[in-house]
Structure 1
Amino acid sequence: MRSTFKLLFYVKRNVPKSDNSLPLMGRITINKGIVQFSLKMSVPPELWDSKAGKAMGKSEKAKDINRQLEQIRVTINNRYQEIIQAGGGVTAEQVKNAYLGIGIKQDMFLKLFAWHNELFARKVGNGRTQNTYKKYCNLYKLMQAYILKEYKREDISLKELNLSFINGFEYFLRTVRGCCTNTIWLYMIGVKHIISVARNEGLLVVNPFAGYMISPEQVDRGFLSEEELQLLMKAPMKNKSYELVRDLFVFAAFTGLAYSDIKNLTKNNLQTFLDGHLWIITRRQKTNVDSNIRLLDVPKRIIAKYEGKTGDDRLFAVPSNWSCNNILKNIGKQCGFKIKLTFHVGRHTFSTSLTLAKGMPIETVSRILGHTNIKTTQIYAKITNEKVSRDMELLSQKLAGLEKQLTATI
């Protein structure tokens, strides 16, 4: 006899949150069995359509809620089908537990990886970012391709994971995918996380990374000098798109903000402090760390230049990261720069030519950049010849008396 399966989304109107939004709930019904569970989401009451079981309207908020609900619906339907295909009866409690990951033993590596990504997707917007989720999805595809190529199958059991498997994946990334050491290092961090999930779940006893060694290579991070920055500002731009990207780069060079942080800036991020100066108050998307930046004249002029041109509260209509870097590459060639100009070079320029080289303490630079560890700032920063010369001049002045005495005896 076929089970009658039904999934319903609803809100708990009697327990509104502090912002008056209503908690979203799920209800699974199979035959006469009913279970309810929290979706770990909430919705403004005016957006909820009880009859349709989804958010109303075409606002970004409504679209985002409905996207997450559809994702949950697909996942629950998949869990239901998996239990049916495994044979035997199915209950509402079983489907709920399968969706929540309760009591599910994932003995296959890619199956565990996919389960991890499903759970991660539900947390996007709540302490997890879409970009990180995309990185895990990309890593999953790479691992899937590696297993298919080397093991000629679609998955591999967790008990088969060993040092040889890890070394093989590194070789696959280097030879087949052409990845550099630093890219492989980043991928391995993700793999280690999945392995730690397996070990924490009691699914894996031996650590396949035991004995594995890889370290990131020191990279010469490029930056522009003051002269190059001036040359960039004076260079004629091909069109308005090139001019916008050039201005956004200069904005990054004078604020230290990364591409994603500039793209997310709105008028609400601008505040005038008691010191009378205009500041950017934001949190870095990558690290979720406070980054408060007093605006100098150049970035203020750039904000004023593009005021009212976005059609909403955003400060800038920022093109895609790929478009920005492609245009910057062409601008860099036009200006004759030796380094490859990318958006992130602007952040390097801030941390080097415009701050540390001018004597700003590295602790202050680290705070502005929103780094969680000052060692990260030390990697970004360069001690330029200009600063070395200036510091040696100060040392020479301090040692002038001693040098005079010693040189007289030589």
Structure 2
Amino acid sequence: MKKQELSLLVKVRCSSTNKKGMAKTSVLVKLNDETECFLGFIMPKDHWDETTKKCKEDHPDHQFINKLIDDKLEELKAHFLVLSKTKENVTAEDVKSAFKGIQEKETETSDQAVSQQRSLLAVADEFISEFTDLVDGGQRSKGRLKHWRTNRKVIEEFAAYYYKKGDILFDEIGPTFGNDLYVYLTTKRQSFFEVIEEFGVYHITQDELLLNELRAKLDKKPYTFLINQTPDFFMKNIHKKKTTNLSEVTAKKRIKDIKQLINIGVDKGLISQNPAKKFSTTGGEKEVLPLELYDIQKIFTKTITIERLDEVRDMYIFQCFTGFAYSDLYNLTADNLYYVGIEREPWLIKERGKTSVNEMVPLLPIAIKIIEKYKDHPYCKATGRLLPIDSNSNYNGYLKEIAAICGVNRNLTTHLARHTFADLMLNVCNIPLEDVSKMMGHKSIRTTMQYCRVRKERISRNMKTALQLMFDKSGRLKLNDVA
């Protein structure tokens, strides 16, 4: 039989880099077949010499990186030699699998299958799959689906940090689960991901000093998990924007959702009760002060000559006077515009993506004028949307510019606009809380109460009305009227 010859070609994928200009370093393994194998680290693409297949000397760590590449190539060759002694026809995939430490998978036993089903990620995956079907059917929003996928990532993160593995079994969830997750999300998360990035760049090196430093940063707990991870784990986690600790409110929202997944496990008989049940996910919410009328007036009356900012300003004013969240505003079409009653009052009626509850908002003159202004806008004509809405990231960025231009010393956000609408309806227009709740598409008045803070002015105004109904000018009780 003809002797097999191994060919190894180092590649740096300069066309695919992260925000820091770092690219995957891989090798093309060729035998009778060929496959690409990631070497376990990334490097700066601008310092790669495609001709010599080496890191350029102008990089301060070029010797270290080139030695790392040579060591990896020698390791691949060694795996090939070992395989060729025991196998007649070695494939490139065989070499890659040996290099990555992948063994042939054994048939999963029934006990293993049960264990997999009893994991938190398995329940999360099933939930997300069902939720995706609801999104496809128009019953849930894409934004909420994205939110649940982020919850899944949080579970993965915490499993790596606290349990030192890739998943969490239900019988591993103890009474301190909620608090442990809260501590991780609010105080440990950022430093954990900083170490993941460091470790990803210098994955499995022989530099004991570096490894000891990383071990110390991780308090030894997740170190065992990280050192045994495949290179793909690091690439998945370092090709992302900077990961930060969460605020108290955001962390508790994540934990509330994960508690919901544990409850599903209880319903399925995977765990007898929810160990995190007693962990409180309420509190910590800061009161959002709505915009004052004079702030709204400043924004509305300011002359803005830049078209993109003028459009975003109009959209924001529209939000302040309709209460629509960004995602619902973005998806408004002419089909959501209804003319109600004998007087054919214009209303916007739309199922809210987050709650699947209809928002029913009678339109004020200012909102009607904005719809009329943009009815022939090219974007609206091309997409069928009611208003020309930018992507969320652009929208929020432009709002910062608008606040500066208009001299409004507030952080303008879509959430603030929704709070402002609730405040206007309740405290200025004196609309009952139940009606405000319906206009905002809330499932419960309790949710609306978080948006609406009853002001002293409203209490005073209502008390004056009560005084006029019950007492005459001299202060005597109007007994006949009361009776």
Question: TM-score, normalization: structure 2?
Answer: 0.59
How far apart are residue 265 of structure 1 and its match? 1.0
Query: Is the 8 Å Cα contact of residues 134 and 140 (structure 2) preserved in structure 1?
Result: yes
- Residue of structure 2 aligned with 1:172, choices 184, 194, 199: 184
Identify the match of residue 128 of structure 2 among 107, 117, 125: 117
Cα deviation for residue 135 of structure 1 reads 1.3
What one-letter code is carried by the residue in structure 2 that aligns with 1:270?
Answer: L
Equivalent position SS for 1:332:
helix
Report the Cα distance in structure 1 between the residues aligned to 2:458 and 2:268, rounded to whole angstroms: 52
Q: In structure 2, which of residues 276, 292, 305 is the aligned counterpart of residue 225 of structure 1?
A: 292
Shift of 1:389: 4.0
Q: Give aligned pairs, total.
A: 310
**Cα displacement (A) at 1:169:** 0.8
> Over residues 255-286 of structure 1, what are the superposed CA-to-partner deviations in whole Å (9 max), with x where a residue is unaligned?
12221111111111112223222222222122
Does residue 374 of structure 2 align to residue 306 of structure 1?
yes
Verify: 1:345 aligned to 2:429, yes or no. no
Encode CA deviations 1:107-147: one digit per residue, 9 max, x unaligned: 33333333433343333223333222211211111221122
- How do residues 199-218 of structure 1 correspond to structure 2 at under 5 angstroms? 199-218=266-285
The equivalent residue for 1:267 is 334
| Deviation for aligned residue 1:191 | 0.8
The counterpart of 1:184, out of the listed 226, 235, 251, is: 251
Q: Which residue of 2 aligns with 1:289?
A: 357
- 1:396 Cα deviation (Å)? 5.2
- Which is worse superposed, 257-266 or 267-276? 267-276
More off after superposition, 354-363 vs 284-293: 354-363
Give structure 2 stretches of 5+ with no counterpart: 1-103, 190-243, 478-483
1:128-207 matched pairs, under 5 angstroms: 128-175=140-187, 176=189, 177-207=244-274
Q: Counterparts in 2 of 1:368-387, with a 5 A limit?
A: 368-387=439-458
Cα separation, 2, equivalents of 1:354 and 1:204: 46
Distance 2:360 2:161 in 1: 48
Change in 2 beyond 3 A, CA 1:108/1:285: closer
Spell out, residue by residue over 1:174-194, the C-alpha distance to the aligned partner (whole angstroms, 9 max, x if none). Answer: 102422222122111211121
Higher relative contact order (CA 8 A, sep 6+): 2
Distance in 2 (CA, whole Å) between partners of 1:168 and 1:236 is 52
Q: Which runs of 5+ in 1 are unaligned?
A: 1-83, 90-100, 406-410
Q: CA deviation at 1:104?
A: 9.5
SS for the counterpart of 1:352 is: helix
Secondary structure of the residue aligned to 1:224 is coil
Q: One-letter code of the match for 2:343?
A: D
Distance (whole Å) between structure 2 residues aligned to residue 88 and residue 388 of structure 1: 67
Structure with bigger gyration radius: 2
Contact 1:163–1:209 (CA under 8 A) maintained in structure 2: yes
Change (3 A) 1:212 1:276: closer
SS of residue paired to 2:359 = strand
Corresponding residue of 1:87:
107
Distance 1:165 1:88, change over 3 A: closer
Residue identity matched to 1:284: R
- Structure 1: 4+ residue segments shifted above 4 A: 395-405
Give, as a single letter, the amino acid of the residue that structure 2 aligns with 1:339: R
* Letter of the structure 2 residue corresponding to residue 325 of structure 1: N
Partners in 1 of 2:313 and 2:177 — Cα distance? 45
TM-score (normalised: structure 1)? 0.68
1:334 to 370, 395, 405: 405
Conserved? CA contact 2:403–2:411, under 8 Å: yes
CA–CA separation in structure 1 for the residues paired with 2:327 and 2:272: 39
Contact 1:329 1:341 in 2 (8 A): yes
Give the Cα separation in 2 of the matches to 1:207 and 1:296: 47
SS of equivalent residue, structure 1 residue 163: coil
Residue identity in the other structure for 1:107: R
Does 2:377 correspond to 1:366?
A: no
Mark the CA change 1:244 to 1:88 in structure 2 (over 3 Å): closer, same or farther: closer
Contact 1:357–1:384 under 8 Å retained in 2: no
**Post-superposition offset of 1:376:** 1.8
Please state how far the C-alpha of 1:401 moved relative to its aligned partner.
4.7
Q: Shift of residue 338 of structure 1?
A: 3.6
Shift in alpha-carbon separation, 1:120–1:261, aligned structure 2, 3 A: closer
Residue matched to 2:324: 257
Using a 3 Å threshold, how does the CA distance of structure 1 residues 276 and 201 change in structure 2: closer, same or farther? closer
Q: CA deviation at 1:85?
A: 4.9
Query: Structure 2: how far apart are the matches of 1:239 and 1:385?
Result: 39
Match of 1:106 among 117, 126, 149: 117
Asked if structure 1 preserves the Cα contact closer than 8 Å seen for 2:426 and 2:454, the reply is no
* Distance (whole Å) between structure 2 residues aligned to residue 125 and residue 247 of structure 1: 31
Partner of 2:393: 322
Report the AA paired with residue 336 of structure 1. G
In structure 2, what is the Cα distance between the partners aligned to 1:88 and 1:172? 33
SS of residue paired to 2:136:
coil
Q: Residue in 2 aligned with 1:41?
A: none
Q: Which amino acid aligns with 2:349?
A: I
Cα gap change, 1:335 to 1:113, in 2 (>3 Å): same
Distance in 1 (CA, whole Å) between partners of 2:275 and 2:179 is 10
Amino acid aligned to 2:368: K
Task: Say if 2:156 and 2:166, in contact at 8 Å, map to a contact too.
Answer: yes
Q: Separation in 1 of the partners of 2:257 and 2:360?
A: 30
Return closer, same or farther for 1:395/1:120 CA change in 2, 3 Å cut-off. Answer: closer
Give the conservation status (yes or no) of the 8 Å contact 1:328–1:343. Answer: no
Q: CA 1:154–1:312 in 2, change beyond 3 Å: closer, same or farther?
A: closer
- 1:133-170 per-residue CA deviation (whole Å, 9 max, x = no partner) reads 21121111122112212222222322111122332111
